[in-house]
Amino acid sequence: MNFLYSIAINFYALATRVAALFNEKAKLFVAGRKNWKSNLKSKIDPAAKYIWVHCASLGEFEQGRPLIEAIKEQFPAYKIVLTFFSPSGYEIRKNYALADVISYLPLDTKQNACAFINLVNPEKVFFVKYEYWNNYISELHTRKIPLYLVSAIFRNEQPFFSKTPWGKWFLKMLFKVEHLFVQTKVSGELLESVGVKNYTVSGDTRFDRVAAIAAAAKDIPPIENFKGDSLLVVAGSTWKPDEELLISFINQSSGVKFIIAPHEVTAANVSRIKQAITRPVTEYSKVNAQEIARFDVLIIDSIGLLSSLYRYGNIAYIGGGFGVGIHNILEAATFGLPVIFGPNYQKFREAVELAAKKGAFPVSKKNELFTQMNNLLTDKTLLEKSAAISSEFVAKNVGSTQLIINKVFNNPAF
């Protein structure tokens, strides 16, 4: 199995190099790993004590971020090495101030794993949520460097729980992990079913992150002027299928204002959205604070604002549910917004749970979106009840980060 795995990794490396000839993301993936040894060596202080935190992409970074911040605050003697697998994580967070070293993770060959760990020499390692790289895990285990999985979630269809030879090979990786911090009781039960007992049901560190965002939220005067006394729907991280549904509702509505923060903020995509809207609409970058109030729809044509915009909303629509899966709903829920999203949400336990509590409302077609929007916009009692459910849901799930810190660093208070 190790041989087949090595073939797969090498094939992946070849495929990305070919794709880099015509795909920008693949180009960044390849270029970011060029000369990684010399680049990493120039950043590492051999006398320092390092903790290594690895995230696949931007979403996992948001789960790992509370952990990094807690370590820096409570154990400042440690330096942080932060790695990403995907360009969508690295390129956005490559200047994150609380990480001392930020790098792409070299592909998972035995040679790369040995060289990387030799350079970093971490005292503790955290992999966030889904990352299972056999050579890195095996090398850490051989060197007795403790590896912790945080905010992990397991489902029955994952290979660890298969009776096939491939499944048994995957399962061996879990036995090399020092401790698994899982999001749900179901995940723990699945681990128990295959003999993995060194786990703690600690919840999801993203709750801590979004609670911190809400506590530190700053005023955005232009958005206050835009909203005025109107109800405001904030649509975040939307894709074309989301936008088509939303625009059909926007164009027939009145007395309500909308903010659309599309996932893709290219000029062409923003222009497409703007041209389809029949109500007064403008881009955030092209309007001043005095004029903004006369528009009904505001398109956010930059990144970095979304998490702060939710505080001004009354209802949130979260995109991605008509594709591979919804984006982060917790950033909206922490501000007490009822959340609407598309049908592909079952892999996100927070969405499943919040929908069951009636703080979130999945929709799969136009008439369902119209019904949910109109119900919330016209029924003040329903809107207030759903808002309270959302904010309470986040408040009751904070604390995962400190639980992990206590366990890993042997805090007597644990």
Range of the domain at 70: 2-204+398-408
Residue 302 lies in a domain: yes
CATH number at residue 269: 3.40.50.2000
Residue with structure tokens 């087949």? Answer: 4
CA angle 267, 273, 274 (to 5 degrees): 85
* CA atoms of 309 and 217, how far apart (whole Å): 9
pLDDT at 296 exceeding the cut of 80: yes
* Pair 116, 249 in one domain: no
Task: Please tell me the predicted confidence (pLDDT) of residue 412.
Answer: 57
16 with 107, same domain: the answer is yes
In a domain, 214, yes or no: no
By residue count, the chain amounts to 414
Nearest to 204 by CA among 58, 66, 51: 66
How far, in Å, CA of 54 to CA of 91, rounded? 15
Looking at the 3D structure of the chain, how many domains does it have?
2
Identify whether residues 194 and 277 lie together within a single domain: no
Per-residue pLDDT of 299-312, as tens digits, reads 999 888 888 999 99
Residues 174 and 231 in one domain: no
Q: Is residue 210 part of a domain?
A: no
> In terms of domains, do 248 and 279 share one?
yes
Do 290 and 370 reside in the same domain of the chain?
yes
pLDDT at 2: 84
Give residue 84's Cα distance to chain centre.
Answer: 13
Cα gap 341→320, rounded to integer Å: 8
Closest Cα partner for 5 from 133, 154, 161, 171? 133
Residue 313 has pLDDT above 90, yes or no: yes
Q: Running DSSP on this structure, what letter comes out for residue 311? A: G
Strands (E) across 168-291 are located at 179-182, 199-201, 231-238, 256-262, 281-283
pLDDT more than 70, % of the chain: 99
- Which 3 state secondary structure label does DSSP give 19? helix
Q: Check whether residue 92 and residue 200 sit in a common domain.
A: yes
Mean pLDDT computed over 241-251:
97
What single letter denotes the amino acid at residue 161? F
Distances (CA, A) of 31 to 14, 27, 102, 240: 13, 6, 15, 30
pLDDT of residue 411: 60
414 pLDDT higher than 60: no
My answer on whether 229 and 341 are in the same domain is yes
Q: What is the pLDDT of residue 390?
A: 97
Q: Is residue 119 located within the same domain as residue 7?
A: yes
Crossing angle for the helix pair 58-74 and 206-215, to the nearest 10 degrees: 70
211 occurs within a structural domain = no
* Tens digits of residue pLDDT in 103-120: 999 999 999 999 999 999
Establish if 149 belongs to a structural domain.
yes
Query: What pLDDT, on a 0 to 100 scale, did the predictor assign at position 361?
Result: 98
Q: What is the pTM of this model?
A: 0.85
The string over 145-178, giving b where at least 16 C-beta atoms fall within 10 Å of a residue's C-beta and e elsewhere, is: bebbbbbbbbeeeeebbbeeeeeebbbebbeebb
Condensed to tens digits (0 to 9), the pLDDT of residues 352-410 reads 999 999 999 999 999 999 999 999 999 999 999 999 999 999 999 999 999 999 999 98
Question: Is there a single domain that holds both residue 134 and residue 160?
Answer: yes
The string of pLDDT tens digits covering residues 49-74 is: 999 999 999 889 999 999 999 999 99
Q: Are residues 9 and 155 in the same domain?
A: yes
Residue 156: pLDDT above 70?
A: yes
CATH label of the domain that carries residue 158: 3.40.50.11720
Mean pLDDT of 200-207: 94
Give yes or no for a contact between 64 and 209, defined as CB atoms under 8 angstroms apart: no
Average pLDDT of the chain?
Answer: 94
Question: What is the average per-residue pLDDT within 313-329?
Answer: 95
Residue 98, in any domain of the structure: yes
Residue 300 lies in a domain: yes
pLDDT over 90, % of the chain: 86
Domain membership flag for residue 414? no
Which of these, 356, 316, 355, 320, lies nearest to 339 by C-alpha position? Answer: 316
Residues 213/307, Cβ–Cβ less than 8 Å: yes
Together in a domain, 228 and 190: no
